[in-house]
Amino acid sequence: MQQIYDDIRGDFRYDSELNGCLNCGICTATCPSAQFYDYSPREIVQLLWTENVEQIYDAMQEKIWACAQCMTCAARCPFKNSPGGLVAIMREVAIKHEMQSAKDVLRPFGRVMLKLITTGNQLSPDMIQPDHFPDWGPNIQKVEGDLSVLRKAIPVKTLQTVETAWEVSLKTSVEMYTIWEMTGVLKSLELMDENLFDVIEDFIDEKREEYEEWLEEQEDDD
């Protein structure tokens, strides 16, 4: 627990996100997540301000994952705290320490990451099916109609498919892979889901080879 707290406290953003607390409650009063979940931005600030290591660890089991990262709290706080920013730090530390809460919360996003890395799209029409996203709530059950037929009605040819939402160039995809590597996204993925990481890494390698071949072809044409 102490190491987890030390990692939170040692983050370079920490001192700019936590400046004190009047305990006024404005952050919680304006927080959309606080209306629906057992979550309070003020509680997060208070726990960190008082260095309550045990309760900080407890909050990282569930509460920090309720934050929508809208940053309304940061905009309203008279002390210029950013509870949302502190939550972001706590989430990253949870991933770093391979906490089970992080794995449980992020697992459903694995399919989105796989779609993003393979097509450049976070979602595609063939994913928007009643049985595919039950965790999206009851409204997903209202999706009806033959999406393959509906997509063919779109004037732009590159959108007349259900496998992708739009066309992404090979160059853009490779640039995205590089950003993920340089910013530590892939390293975090490896900690959370090693199997998915292996699949995505293999795909990235293939795409990079394909891109290198394309560059060589362009040089030959010139």
CB neighbours of residue 169 within 10 Å: 10
CB neighbours of residue 219 within 10 Å: 8
Q: Is 86 exposed, middle or buried (0-12, 13-18, 19+ CB in 10 A)?
A: buried
**pLDDT reading at 191 higher than 70:** yes
pTM: 0.76
* Collapsed DSSP state (helix, strand, coil) of residue 136: helix
Asked whether 186 and 201 are in contact (CB, 8 A), the reply is yes
**pLDDT reading at 90 higher than 90:** yes
pLDDT of residue 92: 94
Cα dist from 12 to 7, 16, 86, 207, whole Å = 10, 8, 11, 34
CA-to-CA distance for 78 and 93, rounded, in angstroms? 27
**pLDDT reading at 1 higher than 80:** yes
Q: List the domains of the chain with CATH numbers.
A: 1-103 (1.10.1060.10), 107-220 (no CATH)
CA-to-CA distance for 130 and 179, rounded, in angstroms? 33
The pLDDT tens digits for 97-109 are 999 999 988 887 8
Could you tell me where the DSSP H helices lie in the chain? Answer: 2-9, 14-17, 26-29, 41-49, 53-59, 72-76, 83-96, 100-106, 110-119, 147-152, 170-182, 185-192, 194-221
The pLDDT tens digits for 13-48 are 999 999 989 899 999 999 999 999 999 999 999 999
Please indicate whether residue 9 or residue 218 has the higher confidence score (pLDDT): 9
